[in-house]
Amino acid sequence: MAFKSIIVEIEDHVALIRLNRPDAMNALNSALLGELGQAVREADQNEKVRCIVITGSEKAFAAGADIKEMAEKSFVDVYSDNLFGDSFTPLEQCRKPIIAAVAGYALGGGCELAMVCDFIIAADTAKFGQPEINLGVIAGLGGTQRLTRLVGKSKSMEMHLTGRFMDAEEAERAGLVSRVVPAKKLMETAMAAAQKITEKSQLSVVACKEAVNRSYETTLAEGILHERRLFQSLFATNDQSEGMAAFLEKREAQFRDR
């Protein structure tokens, strides 16, 4: 299907999804979120795709949910229609790694979109914020929960209560982003990280993502047990034999399990 609000390119096992509403700072409206969900589901099901990168423009990753779409809605409207409510489900359920490559504004739903990805690589121009408080509402796509887990209560609370923006350097210091690169190098860096992931054993990649995400959902003891079972189960794969043999033979591993 041809998309209108996003651009999808698949090359070398990486699906690059570019948000494309330049006139609205990539604000997330129902149409864009529907397309994004569909593109992520398709990439997850596509055997050729091993990693997904989501990005925006130089100016804005996404400046939040579309305020024009929300402004006239009543409680009954948003509650009955569950406005934007299930938008991130395809991303939450995606088994393949998703990297957010963020330049410019990542605000409100845009910051929440970056956080629902598996990790964030930021340009030095990136600005993160949860400014919903300025609109008389609060975050609604996971911001109060994910930002708090990522940067701790104090900073998260301050960001949500004041609506102030965090620059890329502060975001890296706070643990919100994995690293910051010059804006010109953003896509090259994100695509190189994605490429690296595509070269690993894909069974290990899925297990690894599952294990790290488990740490958000369970106790330490249960999480460690889950990790150990996944670790042990990977000894049933050809890729484990190949990976360890390749190390001992001082050569590059050729992973072949799907």
| Interacting residues with ligand CO8 (CB under 6 A) | 24-25, 27, 63-68, 83-85, 105, 107-109, 131-132, 135, 139-141
- Assess whether 199 carries a catalytic annotation: no
DSSP 97: -
Q: What are the residues whose beta carbons fall under 8 Å from the beta carbon of 189, sequence distance 6 or more?
A: 101, 121, 179, 181
Q: Which is nearer to ligand CO8, 105 or 128 (CB)?
A: 105
Q: Which is nearer to ligand CO8, 51 or 117 (CB)?
A: 117
Distance CA 130, CA 157 (A): 10
- Assess whether 65 carries a catalytic annotation: yes
Q: Which is nearer to ligand CO8, 97 or 129 (CB)?
A: 129
Distance CA 230, CA 52 (A): 23
For the bound state, the minimum distance from the C-beta of residue 63 to ligand CO8, rounded and expressed in Å, comes to: 3
For the bound state, the minimum distance from the C-beta of residue 14 to ligand CO8, rounded and expressed in Å, comes to: 27
- Assess whether 109 carries a catalytic annotation: yes
State the catalytic residue, choosing from 37, 112, 140, 168.
112
Question: Are the C-beta atoms of 255 and 242 separated by less than 8 Å?
Answer: yes
Selection from 234, 120, 132 nearest residue 174 by Cα = 120
Structure tokens at 195: 């490429």
For the bound state, the minimum distance from the C-beta of residue 247 to ligand CO8, rounded and expressed in Å, comes to: 46
* DSSP 3-state of 20: coil
Selection from 59, 206, 192, 75 nearest residue 126 by Cα = 59
State the catalytic residue, choosing from 39, 132, 171, 190.
132
Distance CA 116, CA 166 (A): 18
State the catalytic residue, choosing from 64, 104, 109, 129.
109
For the bound state, the minimum distance from the C-beta of residue 240 to ligand CO8, rounded and expressed in Å, comes to: 42
- 3-state percent helix, strand, coil for the chain, nearest multiple of 5: 50, 15, 35
Structure tokens at 154: 């104090």
State the catalytic residue, choosing from 65, 106, 114, 123.
65
Structure tokens at 41: 């589901």
- Assess whether 169 carries a catalytic annotation: no
The helices-and-strands tally (H runs, E runs) of the chain is 12, 10
For the bound state, the minimum distance from the C-beta of residue 107 to ligand CO8, rounded and expressed in Å, comes to: 4
Distance CA 10, CA 8 (A): 7
For the bound state, the minimum distance from the C-beta of residue 78 to ligand CO8, rounded and expressed in Å, comes to: 7
Q: Which residues belong to the active site?
A: 65, 109, 112, 132
